[in-house]
Chain A
Amino acid sequence: MFIELGHFALILAFMIAIAQALIPLVGAHKGWRSWMAVAQPMASAQFFLVTFSFAALTWAFVTSDFSVDLVVNNSHTDKPMIYKISGVWGNHEGSMLLWVLILTLFGASAAWFGSNLPDSLRARVLAVQSSITVAFMAFTLFTSNPFLRLGLPPFNGTDLNPLLQDPGLALHPPFLYLGYVGLSMAFSFAVAALIEGRVDAAWGRWVRPWTLAAWVFLTIGIALGSWWAYYELGWGGFWFWDPVENASLMPWLFAAALLHSAIVVEKREALKSWTILLAILAFGFSLIGTFIVRSGLLTSVHAFAMDPERGIFILMILGVFMGGALTLFALRAPAMEARGVFATVSRESALVMNNVLLAVSSFVVFVGTMWPLVAEMLFDRVLSVGPPFFNMAFSPFFVGLAAILPIGAMLPWKRGDLRRTMQPLWPILLLSMAMGALVWAMQTGRSALGPVGVLLGLWVVLGAGADLWSRTGRGALAGRLGRLRRVPRADWGKATAHAGLGITVFAVAGLIAWESEDIRVAQIGETFSHDGYEITLADVRNVEGPNYHSTMGFMEVHRNGRHVATLTPEKRIYPAAGMPTTEAGIDYGLFRDVYLVLGDPQAGGGWAVRTYIKPFANWLWAGSAIMALGGLLSLSDRRYRVAAGAARRRREGAATVAAQ
């Protein structure tokens, strides 16, 4: 009964979405206020209906209602409650419903917090947003309906993929979708502005928080997924250049570019048409990602649904929205005149370079991801494009980005003087180079990756500090320290996010360059040493979990005779799904993780055991978290607070009325 109500609510929301995609658009065109005004209540209604629909499906999972097909295929009564809930989006149909829920959430948020927008722009934004919702609701209802019932309910379910029964992965998809779908707001704003025919500083200010929010969510989502891969897959890899991963990286890069170019629109009214194009492309790449994941076109490690019908449907959505938006762009963009002028050496130019590097690196990922398909279709060559290609083709862009970042961040707007900007940065650059050289000398005979990582990481982090410090003005130290607290949140956010990037760059380089590995057979009771650690395989026992059997190793880790940790790497079997998984035993540390993996029992007695020392692994997740925190800080800047904008708009509104 509940399920049918949920189904019904989704259909009703679909009808409203169709109306919302049309009526406000006509209203905005004709200038009919009442037609424009319906958009807000409709956006709210859509959100509440889809929320109800999602709640109904969640209820079916929580109560293990095995008359619902989806629950049978993705749940089991023995499963812990948290994974019953995360099972709702741990499958294609349910995740599409989550996708739609987030779309309507963003639409409703634009309706609720958009009181500072001009009426016609808001109506158009909500209409465009709703047209995207229509497409995805149709996709869900017609090809991927989560509410289908079974005639003969089975006694129990077939369980959720055991790999998904993990707290990191339970949270990973919602964050990622918040990011993907968040970019739909930037798209809606871009298309609405094109229809409106006006892009100004205010538009830049409105579109930025949405992009920033989407980027923060994507950052968290990608980092969670990467962390999950690190501890779950059993050899501590964190990035595989898999099509599905690339699908999330491309929109992230575009969102990062868009964030920066929207600043130029907001502050200097330049780069307008480029920013519009970026907004369209950022969402376009979200859609391409969805298509890659759900069409099964590329043999990814874990695409969702290998259903050609669904793939074609998403391709149609992609074609309609990208084709439409780009056509509109071609028609309207030339009319968008840039106002702000600037010299070649200026913040604007540095941000253009940022955009060049981010956008091109994203296209490189795109070309690498699609190349196997192109090569097979056009040249009849069946080939793979793997990590070696991406590492080589992609990394230089991030090295370049990190190299110019501190300088660009401190260049003044309009017209800069490189020598003056470099003045506070020289000591930092020299220090970073010295540290890089020192590391190079200490690690004789290894690759340059580590020292370069140290150099770039320090340069970016200290550069971010110098940037923040420069915002405190001149004068006595005490005065500057006092003023540090009054520096706007946006500047804190900028410095924090940049520092986070520096830490991430350093961690990636350090982890790859300095990790060490040991593979051996260990007898029970045997102690071996690796990289300064003495490791003992004390015991191997069988342990029963709630819905799995585990073979658990008990391993003691000592360093110089001191006890460091007792780790319990496991091999698990999930009988309901008939799948084995590996749980590594990890001692997380500030400078290194000790990462132990239990392998198979050996014919001659003993167990295969792998030991990895992973230096600076936590810095990678910390760097990503700091980046996201920087985004949140910037988002909380008072410039973006609704009240301030609303007040301004009310004054403007009063002025217009008075003028009439």
Chain B
Amino acid sequence: MAAIRAGLVALVLGLLVLPLGPGPGGVAQAGPQPDEILDDPALEARARALSKDLRCLVCRNESIDDSNAELARDMRLLVRERLLDGDSDDEVLDFIVARYGEFVLLRPRTSGTNIILWTSAPAMFLIALGGALFYLRRRSNMADEVTRLSPEEEERLRKLLRD
């Protein structure tokens, strides 16, 4: 793991880097080569879906489905090999994680402290919504106060109208 990380850092340091352009630094055309494609379209579809969730370790933020790096090709072949052996999707992922570490997963797991990550969006939304509703409630109460006349004012109004 440490070696992989060190290699990654070295690679990142070594590459001439782009300014704020989006898009991975992978340059050549990407993704699975014709000879990798499985004959069974259902298995191939699963392989592609899995590949999209796996990170190419020597690239910068590319999935192995988008990368043309050698390592990405190896990983794509590995995924297909496991699928041909009859692994389920989860078993394939477990196998790859056991080899390359959790870093390889682009879809972070929902286990352990990652619960904070996964619940952050709904939690923040509910908090913001609560705050907004509280604020709106107060505002509209104020609106009622302003628009409705107090009893004394109504009394005066009645008097004025009688005159």
Contacts and interface: CB of A to CB of B under 8 A. Distances in A.
Interface string B47-64: 000001101000111110
B55 A386 contact: yes
Given A383-B114, A608-B34, A161 B16 contact: yes
Nearest to B131: A356
Contacts of B61: 240, 242-243, 299-301, 386
Contact of A582 (B1, B29, B66, B132): B29
Contacts of B12: 296, 299, 303, 306
A341 B146 contact: yes
A18 interface: no
Contacts of A248: 20, 22
Given A242-B61, A344-B140, A353-B132, A234 B29 contact: yes
A393 B28 CA distance: 30
Q: Which of A89, A352, A386, A519 has the most CB of B within 10 A?
A: A386
A225 B146 contact: no
Contacts of B105: 383-384, 386
How many B residues are at the interface, by size bracket? 35 or more
Contacts of B108: 371, 383-386, 389
A223 to B, nearest CB: 10
Interface string B121-139: 1001100110010011101
A580 interface: yes
A575 to B, nearest CB: 15
Given A235-B29, A341-B146, A360-B128, A301 B62 contact: yes
A109 interface: no
Given A229-B22, A341-B146, A360 B114 contact: no
A386 B63 contact: yes
A271 to B, nearest CB: 9
A234 B28 contact: yes
A579 interface: yes
Given A349-B136, A581-B28, A368 B23 contact: no
B79 to A, nearest CB: 16
A82 B32 CA distance: 35
Interface stretch (B82-90, B96-104, B151-159): B96-104
Contact of B143 (A343, A388, A597): A343
A610 interface: yes
B41 interface: no
A95 interface: yes
A301 B60 contact: yes
A172 B20 contact: yes
Contacts of B26: 233, 301
Contacts of A414: 143
B20 A176 contact: yes
Contacts of A330: none
A386 B102 contact: no
Contacts of A597: 29
Interface in B1-59: 1, 5, 8-9, 12-13, 16-35, 37, 52-53, 55, 59
A343 B139 CA distance: 7
Given A341-B139, A599-B33, A233 B24 contact: yes
A280 to B, nearest CB: 17
Contact of B17 (A239, A302, A378, A581): A302
B106 interface: yes
A388 B106 contact: yes
A244 interface: yes
B113 interface: yes
Contacts of B113: 375, 378-379, 381
A226 B22 CA distance: 6
23 contacts: A173-B19, A221-B20, A225-B21, A229-B22, A233-B30, A235-B29, A235-B66, A239-B22, A244-B22, A293-B19, A293-B20, A299-B12, A301-B60, A302-B18, A344-B139, A349-B136, A355-B132, A364-B120, A378-B113, A383-B114, A397-B125, A519-B33, A602-B35
Given A301-B25, A371-B117, A414-B143, 19 more contacts: A163-B27, A169-B21, A235-B30, A301-B23, A302-B18, A306-B13, A341-B142, A344-B140, A356-B125, A360-B125, A364-B124, A381-B114, A382-B102, A383-B109, A386-B61, A386-B63, A389-B107, A519-B32, A571-B28
A-B pairs with the 4 shortest C-beta distances?
A: A386-B106, A229-B23, A302-B18, A388-B107
Interface of B: 1, 5, 8-9, 12-13, 16-35, 37, 52-53, 55, 59-63, 66, 101-109, 112-114, 117-118, 120-121, 124-125, 128-129, 132, 135-137, 139-140, 142-143, 146
